[in-house]
């Protein structure tokens, strides 16, 4: 069977999360916002417990956590929810990077249509957008800086600590898309200064279709984000709609597990990466990593194998392992990755690049032997 090595697209659900969710589906009836009976109270207990579990993992208050359908929605609310405030205050400048997820890129483009000016900053060859580049772009009328923590394609960690520290003094709102780091780079996310943060449960063994937008209070006040959908007062009106109790419970459980296990998970992921790098070295293939590996998360590798088309490699090695050549959200487009392009990587190298991403619960032996098979296939494909 093919070994799944595409965790950055979506990680398999943790068995313990699934069991907890099944229990909720079986035993918790009702709407968490019903106030007239015990069923509502019980559903609300599950939701509020999950809110505490998310908050604990980020070391924030539970009233700063707002459940959404996932990071796409969180990013949309964080950015487009600032429209009214930005227009009213005459703050119509937004800074982001050219390597953000489309949920950020397309949200800021929607803001451009409403008269906002957006700077899209490029990374250098390392895959990082320097803090200086970001901070030099800040103006008096800058409303928002939105920078992802870890890039989903390259795995490269962005300098959010430095950016957050500097922005705090400038009264500019800072949004972090932490979808690829949440539950993994736990210490960093507990200490970084930010106003808004987006995440999705399914990247850390939780269910698909649920996530959170974190809005940090400053002097007891939430950031000036308005809802972008209307229809109910759930989640303080920030995200109307019936709360999916079992999904939210699953997110909470995944956070509880990550809180206990993230350190050992990162160690195991690093071990796996070392094994894969060792196999690459021994393979005799000519390869290079996309992005400076000193800044790469230990569960991702974006790799160019010289002379081997990624499309051909992915198809020919499918029976051994399942990898990708970029974000699943764009994988039906045949355009070269915009992330690798922005890093200054030549198109030919991009066409020969694959992304491999894994999790800690996988067996090192299985990953290692499936990757070895992929490398053997690569050798046969060199032209
Ligand atoms: N941001 C980043 C960095 C991501 O990797 C993803 C998922 N690929 C998202 C946002 C969107 O997450 P979701 O599809 O769960 O809404």
Ligand 1 midpoint to CA 122 (Å)? 20
Mean residue pLDDT of the chain comes to 96
Asked which of 31-35, 204-208, 237-241, 325-329 is least confident by mean pLDDT, the reply is: 325-329
Ligand 1 midpoint to CA 197 (Å)? 12
pLDDT category of residue 4 using cuts at 50, 70 and 90:
very high
The predicted pLDDT at position 232 comes to 87
Residue by residue, DSSP assigns 85-142 as HHHHHT--EEEEETTS-HHHHHHHHHHHHTT-EEEEEPP-TTSPPPHHHHHHT--TTE
Ligand 1 midpoint to CA 118 (Å)? 21
72 lines ligand 1 (CB under 6 A): yes
Taking 80 as the threshold, does the pLDDT of residue 333 lie above it? Answer: no
Tell me what the mean pLDDT of segment 353-370 comes to: 95
The predicted pLDDT at position 348 comes to 94
Annotated catalytic residue: which of 255, 304, 321, 329? 329
The predicted pLDDT at position 206 comes to 98
Taking 80 as the threshold, does the pLDDT of residue 331 lie above it? Answer: no
Ligand 1 midpoint to CA 164 (Å)? 21
370 lines ligand 1 (CB under 6 A): no
83-105 pLDDT, tens digit per residue, is 999 999 999 999 999 999 999 99
309 lines ligand 1 (CB under 6 A): no
pLDDT category of residue 361 using cuts at 50, 70 and 90:
confident
Residue by residue, DSSP assigns 83-100 as HHHHHHHT--EEEEETTS
pLDDT category of residue 120 using cuts at 50, 70 and 90:
very high
274-301 pLDDT, tens digit per residue, is 999 999 999 999 999 999 999 999 999 9
68-83 pLDDT, tens digit per residue, is 999 999 999 999 999 9
Side by side, which strands form the sheet with 300-305? 287-289, 300-305, 353-357
pTM above 0.95, yes or no: yes
Ligand 1, atom 5, residue with closest C-alpha: 152
Pair 80, 107: CB distance under 8 Å: yes
Taking 80 as the threshold, does the pLDDT of residue 329 lie above it? Answer: no
129-155 pLDDT, tens digit per residue, is 999 999 999 999 999 999 999 999 999
180 lines ligand 1 (CB under 6 A): yes
Q: Which atom of ligand 1 lies at the shortest distance from residue 151's CA?
A: 3
Taking 70 as the threshold, does the pLDDT of residue 377 lie above it? Answer: yes
Ligand 1 midpoint to CA 377 (Å)? 30
* Closest by CA position to 8, among listed 301, 363, 375, 341: 301
Cα–Cα distance measured from residue 139 to residue 93, given in angstroms and rounded to the nearest whole number? 8
- Residue 296 appears among annotated catalytic residues: no
Ligand 1, atom 4, residue with closest C-alpha: 179
151-201 pLDDT, tens digit per residue, is 999 999 999 999 999 999 898 999 999 999 999 999 999 999 999 999 999
355 lines ligand 1 (CB under 6 A): no
Ligand 1 midpoint to CA 343 (Å)? 20
101 lines ligand 1 (CB under 6 A): yes
pLDDT category of residue 255 using cuts at 50, 70 and 90:
very high
The predicted pLDDT at position 102 comes to 98
Q: Which atom of ligand 1 lies at the shortest distance from residue 329's CA?
A: 8
152 lines ligand 1 (CB under 6 A): yes
The predicted pLDDT at position 169 comes to 87
Q: Which atom of ligand 1 lies at the shortest distance from residue 202's CA?
A: 15
DSSP H/E element including 321: strand 321-322
pLDDT category of residue 373 using cuts at 50, 70 and 90:
very high
pLDDT category of residue 327 using cuts at 50, 70 and 90:
low
Q: Which atom of ligand 1 lies at the shortest distance from residue 72's CA?
A: 16
200 lines ligand 1 (CB under 6 A): yes
């Amino acid at each position: 069977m093919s070994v799944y090595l595409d965790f950055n697209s979506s990680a398999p659900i943790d068995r313990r999360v699934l069991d907890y969710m099944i229990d909720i589906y079986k035993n918790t009836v009702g709407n968490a916002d019903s106030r007239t009976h015990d069923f509502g109270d019980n559903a609300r207990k599950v939701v509020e417990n999950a809110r505490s579990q998310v908050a604990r993992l980020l070391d924030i208050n539970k009233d700063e956590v707002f459940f959404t359908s996932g990071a796409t929605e969180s990013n949309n609310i964080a950015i487009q929810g600032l429209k009214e405030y930005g227009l009213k205050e005459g703050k119509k400048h937004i800074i982001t990077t050219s390597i953000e997820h489309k949920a950020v890129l397309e949200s800021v483009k929607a803001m451009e249509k409403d008269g906002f000016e957006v700077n899209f900053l490029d990374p250098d060859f390392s895959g990082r957008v320097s803090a200086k580049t970001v901070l030099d772009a800040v103006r008096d009328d800058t409303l928002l800086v939105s920078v992802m923590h870890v890039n989903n394609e390259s795995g490269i960690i962005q300098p959010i600590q430095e950016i957050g520290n500097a922005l705090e003094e400038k009264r500019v709102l800072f949004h972090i898309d932490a979808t690829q780091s949440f539950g993994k780079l736990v210490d960093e996310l507990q200490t970084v200064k930010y106003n808004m943060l987006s995440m999705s449960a399914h990247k850390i063994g939780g269910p698909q279709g649920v996530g959170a937008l974190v809005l940090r209070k400053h002097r007891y006040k939430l950031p000036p984000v308005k809802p972008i959908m209307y229809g109910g007062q759930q989640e303080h009106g920030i995200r109307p709609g019936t709360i999916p109790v079992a999904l939210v419970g699953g997110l909470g459980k995944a956070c509880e597990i990550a809180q206990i296990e993230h350190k050992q998970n990162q160690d195991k992921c690093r071990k796996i990466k070392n094994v894969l790098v060792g196999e690459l070295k021994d393979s005799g293939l000519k390869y290079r990593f996309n992005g400076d590996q000193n800044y790469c998360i230990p569960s991702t590798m974006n790799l160019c194998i010289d002379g081997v088309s990624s499309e051909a490699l992915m198809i020919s090695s499918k029976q051994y392992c399942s990898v990708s050549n970029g974000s699943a959200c764009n994988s039906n487009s045949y355009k070269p990755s915009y992330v690798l392009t922005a890093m200054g990587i030549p198109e030919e190298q991009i066409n020969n690049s694959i992304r491999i991403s894994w999790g800690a619960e996988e067996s090192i032996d299985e990953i290692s032997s499936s990757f070895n098979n992929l490398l053997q296939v690569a050798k046969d494909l060199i032209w």
